[in-house]
Each structure stands twice: as structure tokens, then as C-alpha cells.
Amino acid sequence: MKLTGVELRRIRMPLVAPFRTSFGTESRREVLLLRVVTADAEGWGECVAMAEPRYSAEYVDAAADVLRRFLVPALAERQRLDASAVAPALAPFAGHRMAKAALELAVLDAELRAEGRSLGHALGAVRDRVPCGVSVGIMGSVAELLDAVGGYLDAGYVRIKLKIEPGWDVEPVRAVRERFGDDVPLQVDANTAYTLADARHLARLDPFDLLLIEQPLAEDDLLGHVRLARIIRTPVCLDESITSARAAAAAITLGACSIVNIKPGRVGGYLEARRIHDVCAAHGVPVWAGGMLETGLGRAANVALAALPNFTLPGDTSASDRYYRTDVTPPFVLDGGHLAVPTGPGIGVDPVPAELDAVTTSTEWLPL
């Protein structure tokens, strides 16, 4: 392919309810979308960076800046381009994995649309629908939490994930187990909120038969996770620590985790996400698909990824209405606790022009 231009589109999406984690509360998503244009097709990508650098060092304004000044021009220098060449072309620029992932996805979407192939087929999907879990934020009270969890179970979600932090961990988990029983698949996500000094406290979660505890310690503390995994019985899953297939191999070899969360934006793209999947499969380590409150564009790609064979745990691939009253694509709707894997060319979905325009705050065209 030869790129003719890239559109940077900023949109603002109000959430149906504030979403609180250990690193902050969001009531809306400021999203950067990319539209890549070639002679034969267009492709869409979604950058999952947040408005502020709290979850990671990346944030939306910085992503737009690095794309405009460095990443898009680097691709413009290529006379011919396919998705597999994007990461090598962008490798001279350190970091900015979320921005790189969005650009790679847009190129990959355009390439597959031109070929008439779906993203799921290209990645190696083996299922036509994937089981869906839901991530439940930190609430103002246990009663509020129980109401929320009950609503998600009634909606059909097959796994519940509770966000935790010091002061909001053992008692909320206990309350959910007591109300809904031991048969509900349940896991917790700390988003790096603890230190190794909290190991004995985190061991108090062991009796609740959790699927996993996600990223309890700092992302650069692999050795701390190794020690924690020897103290607690709950399986340790790494999220923020896994930035590449190489990082995944190192964490597994050290014994820092027994489960891996894969978020394509965090690791630089869907092709690297597939490599992480393959590394984990080779080591007998199950994986599951994380989420970053994506619109239907990013959600479509995540669902396709989650259909690969080693995604054996339900992911955070929730239905559109979990976060948004109106999506920018036709909504993803839960069906028996599952979402269908898109089968159309590329990511398999297109923006609804009226819905996209309604939430757009700015557009910028970068001719090449």
C-alpha cells in the first residue's frame, strides 16, 4: 500500500457512570481516532491513551503530537507499506506504544479491507464468539457495589472483575462472594496499588477462590511479583508489566505470573499482542483480553483478538452499553454472555457518520 493521508480525529464520549480505579476516576473518555487513507481502502485505528498520564506515561495530547511530528512522517517515507512493516518503521522512536498501536491498527484495517479479509482470520481466530467479563470500578459503598454486580450478572456477564486498592479489597470481595456465591467467576485488579509489604494482607483474599489478582505491584517490580506469588495462593496475573513478547517471556521464566492480560495498545499493536499470545501458549500460560473503555472501533479489534486459541479466560470485552449510551459504531450487544466476532473485512465495523460527528471535537488531516 501507499498512504495518501491520515486523519486525526478527537472525540469526547460521556460514560454512563463514573469509572473509578486506584489511579483515578473517569466520567468521560477523550479518544483519539485515526483514519488511514490509501489508494484502495481506508482503515480505522483507536488510541487507548487517556486524557492524563495516570494509567501510563502516555496521554491523548502527547499521542496526537508524536503521531503528527514523528510516526506518520516515518510511514510516509515508505514507498510501499504493509502492517508488518509498521513496527520496524516506528522502532527508532522510543515508547509511545499506544500511539504506535493505533497507527498499526489503522494500516492493518486498510490492508485487510483491500484484501477482503477479516482481522480475526488474519490473527488466527478459532471462535466466532467470545465470552465476556465486566470490570467493576471502586464504589462509594459495598451496597452500591452489590447492586452493580447484581445488574451485570443479570445482564449475562460470565465473569466479574473488581477494582481494588488499599482500604477497598477484602471486605468488598467478601461481600460479593457472600451475596452471589462461589460459583461466580471472580477476579480482582489492583492497577499497581500495593507493595510487597502488603503481601500478608493480600493473602487474606486467598479464601475467596479468585481466578487471579491482576497487577498488584508496580509495573517494574518483577522480582516483587515473584516473591508475592510464593506467598499468596491466588494466581498472579500481570498487566502493566507486560509491554512486549520479550517482557512476557521474562516474567514467565522468572515466575512473576501464571496468567497474562493482553492489551494491544499497551504492547504496541495487535501483531505484538499475537506474539505475546504465542509466547504464553508455548509456556502453557493462559491469557485474556484486557480493555481500555474502547469505542466500537477498538472493541471490534479486541473481540477478534480474544478469539485466538490461548484466550481461555473471559476478557474485559464488554458490550457497548457497559460504558456508553451511544457508540460511534453499531453497538456490540451481549448474547448469552458472549459477543460475536466481526466477520467483515478488516475490523469488520464502520463508524456511523451521524454518531461520530456528534461526539467529534476536532479533526486534522495529515496529507502524505
Closest CA to 44 of 354, 361, 353: 353
Closest CA to 108 of 8, 32, 36, 6: 36
Per the CB < 8 A criterion, the answer to whether 290 and 316 are in contact is: yes
Amino acid of residue 83: A
Amino acid of residue 195: T
Separation between Cα atoms, residue 294 and residue 125, nearest integer Å: 20
From 2, 100, 161, 263, the catalytic residue: 263
Closest CA to 146 of 185, 165, 170, 174: 174
- DSSP classification of residue 62: H
- 282: alpha, beta or left, given left = phi > 0 and alpha = psi -120 to 50? alpha
From 2, 100, 161, 163, the catalytic residue: 163
Per DSSP, which regions of the chain are E strands? 3-21, 24-38, 42-47, 129-131, 133-136, 159-163, 186-189, 213-214, 236-238, 259-262, 287-289, 338-340, 360-367
Q: Is 100 a catalytic residue?
A: no
Q: Is 263 a catalytic residue?
A: yes
Cell of 343: 466477520
Q: In residues, how long is the chain?
A: 368
Helices then strands, counting H and E runs in the chain, come out as 14, 13
Per the CB < 8 A criterion, the answer to whether 232 and 199 are in contact is: yes
Catalytic site positions: 163, 263
